Amino acid sequence: MNQMTLIPITQIPEPAFKERARQALNDDQLRRNFRIAMDSLMTKRLAVMSDTDERERLREMGNHVRARALSKLPDLLEKLEDNLTRNGIHVHWAETVDEANAIVESIAKAHQAKRLIKGKSMVSEEMNMNHVLGEHGIECLESDMGEYIIQLAGQKPSHIIMPAIHMNAGQVASLFTKTLGTEYTTDVDELIQTGRRVLRQKFFEADIGISGVNFAIAETGTLLLVENEGNGRMSTAVPPVHIAVTGIEKVVENLRDVVPLLSLLTRSALGQPITTYVNMISSPRKSNELDGPQEVHLVLLDNGRSQAFADGELRQTLNCIRCGACMNHCPVYTRIGGHAYGTVYPGPIGKIISPHLLGLENTPDHPSASSLCGACEEVCPVKIPIPSLLRRLREENVKSPEAVPYRLRGQGSKFSSKERMAWKVWSKLYASPTLYRSFVYLATRFRSFTPGKAGPWTEHHVAQKPAARSLHELAREHLEESQ
């Protein structure tokens, strides 16, 4: 397939990350929108997870459930496939987003389908499905209110749970007036009713419904979806065909495994004890049933996940249940918003998963864009050690691209022989007590020569001048006196 059609997903759009971050930082409205939204999401989460002991034990359990599934992933995928097939659901496998789109397209062609309605699926964003199918004359319309809004605006989601979180009601009102011709109102109820009216007709007409999957249960051959709006149920129950797309890591072993994960997911994401709907699909319409799709398909997508899977440490990335709590609590995400990342998954999880999906050569700055403060790890419901994984990606990213063993696509994209040499010098200096003490002696004695400008540091700080005498000197004197 033509690479050009895939530009928005296989390549980070220009300008590069740092420039987009700079633009976001200068956008006061954007920063206000995110700060308010993230503060509220953090408060809501804490309100339903205030029992520290229960929360911490459940997070540990969530981690163990996910880790157990990953520790037998290929077997579980086969079991899932067996059970889904037995239930009458067609299972497809795709290594790349091209293959996944081709599968969806061929199902659409077989049904002469022209109108697709989509629940909400971040994997379909990875596939850039709306765009790719659109080029083949198949309309793919978003029905989640947030996704619908940004599709109208020609944008991408800025948050995995709340795709239009970067916009306020006034911006949505203007958009609706411009694209739907409705009267301008910032009344959120009225705006939502407009969306409901337009999209009901689309559900009614749609040839195929598309959805994601929150948990694929191997034991029973069940696809579980959570949502609040009902668009997920509409997409999977009204059109005659339902296609679910998901990543290969989404499988869990047993039905009971979803009990802790569901609780962790909805509480971490939105501070809700549960979402309005939990939709469990185990088969297409049976012969004696009166509604539901006649055909159900599941597309299992790899798209770089098997690269993360290959390494025991990086495999932990695939614990993720996509709650978005890491971005809600991230001081970097809060300030730059989701679009600055230029990747389907923004925020902390985006920084650790995107390098596998897109290659480090396309996400060179992502692992570095973190102070490693650990707020994400602290709230992650499945205990992904995000800061450690970021550090690990940094290590792979500064390795020589030819380094053996070769581990990651695009490894060494930040390799600089100058920088590596500088750290080698640093290491020699700090690992040699004599050299180090001479260095500190000189730095303190020549402190008045400290330059007033020191690269990026002095953009926001005064230059840091060494003390007149080092602790080494002062401590030696002091301890000699007293001992």
Partner 1 sequence: MSELFYNAAPNATRAAPPIPKQRQYPTHKPQHVYLFGTCVVDLFYPQAGMDSIRLLEREGITVHFPQGQSCCGQPAYTSGYTNEAREVARVQLALFRQNWPLVVASGSCAGMIRHHYHELFKDEPVTLRLVDTLAERTYELAEFLLNVCKVNLQDQGAPLKVALHTSCSARREMNTHLHGRALLAQLKGVQRVEHDHESECCGFGGTFSVRMPDISGAMVADKIRALQESGAAQLVTADCGCLMNINGALEKQKAVLRGQHLASFIWQRTGGTQ
Partner 2 sequence: MSARSNILAKLRKSLDNTTPLPDDYDVELVTKPWSYPLAERITRLRTLMEAVHTETYLSTQEEWHTRVEQILNERHIGRLLIAPTTPYGQHLIKQWQSRNGTPTLKAYDRPIEEWKAELFNDTPASLTGTLGAIAATGSLVLWPNTEEPRLMSLVPPLHIALLKASEIADNFYTFQETHRWRDGMPTNALLISGPSKTADIEQVLAYGAHGPKDLIVMILKDA
Is position 375 an interface residue for partner 1 (rule: CB under 8 A)? yes
Which residues in the 46-65 window bind partner 2 by CB under 8 A? 51, 54, 57-58, 61, 64-65
Q: How far is the CB of 381 from partner 2 (least distance, A)?
A: 14
Smallest distance from partner 1 to CB 440, Å: 6
| Measured distance CA(208)–CA(191) in Å, rounded | 26
Residues between 150 and 189 that touch partner 2 (CB under 8 A): 162-165, 167-169, 172, 188-189
Cβ-based nearer residue to partner 1, 16 or 274:
16
Q: Which of 101, 124, 151, 231 touches partner 2 (CB under 8 A)?
A: 231
| From 20, 30, 130, 146, residue interacting with partner 2 (rule: CB under 8 A) | 146
Q: How far is the CB of 205 from partner 1 (least distance, A)?
A: 45
- Written as one letter, the residue type at 28 is D
Contact characters 305-344, partner 2, x per CB under 8 A: -x--xxx---x-----------------------------
* 173 class by beta-carbon count within 10 Å (0-12 exposed, 13-18 middle, 19+ buried): buried
Site for partner 2 in 78-137 (CB under 8 A): 78, 93-95, 99
Q: What angle do CA 52, 162, 244 make, to 5 degrees?
A: 100
Span of 78-86, 117-125, 307-315, 351-359 interacting with partner 1 by CB under 8 A: 307-315
Of residues 231, 383, 408, 413, which one binds partner 1 by CB under 8 A? 383
Residue 160 burial class via C-beta count within 10 angstroms: exposed 0-12, middle 13-18, buried 19 and up: buried
Strand order in the sheet with 295-301: 90-94, 295-301, 241-247, 208-211, 115-118, 139-142
Using CB under 8 A as the binding rule, whether residue 391 contacts partner 1 is answered as yes
Q: Which of partner 2, partner 1, none does residue 37 bind (CB under 5 to 8 Å by kind)?
A: partner 2
- In the numeric block, which tokens belong to residue 246? 């998901």
The answer to the question of residue 288 lying near partner 2 (CB under 8 A) is: yes
Instruction: Find the binder of partner 1 among 13, 18, 135, 259 (CB under 8 A).
Output: 18
Q: Is 462 in the site for partner 1 (CB under 8 A)?
A: yes
Is the bond leading into 157 cis (omega within 30 degrees of zero)?
Answer: no
Rounded-to-integer distance, Cα 167 and Cα 175, Å: 10
* Interface of this chain with partner 2, residues 351 to 390, rule: CB under 8 A: none
The reply on whether position 142 binds partner 2 by CB under 8 A is: no
Does 325 participate in binding partner 1 (rule CB under 8 A)? no
50: exposed, middle or buried (Cβ count in 10 Å: 0-12, 13-18, 19+): exposed
Q: Letter for the amino acid at 33?
A: N
Q: Among 33, 63, 214, 275, which residue sits at the site for partner 1 (rule: CB under 8 A)? A: 63
- When binding is defined by CB under 8 A, the residue of 25, 153, 278, 373 that contacts partner 2 is 278
- Closer residue to partner 1 (CB): 315 or 356: 315
Least separation, in Å, of the C-beta of 426 and partner 1?
A: 7
Asked whether position 254 contacts partner 2 by CB under 8 A, the answer is yes
* Shortest Å, Cβ 23 to partner 1: 10
> Which residue among 178, 256, 424, 445 contacts partner 1 (CB under 8 A)?
424
Tell me which stretch binds partner 2 (CB under 8 A): 15-23, 225-233, 323-331, 400-408. Answer: 225-233
**Looking at 56, 75, 82, 205, which residue binds partner 1 (CB under 8 A)?**
56
d(CA 447, CA 269): 50
Minimal distance in Å, beta carbon 178 to partner 2?
A: 16
Site for partner 1 in 222-281 (CB under 8 A): none
Strand 139-142, strand 115-118: pairing: parallel
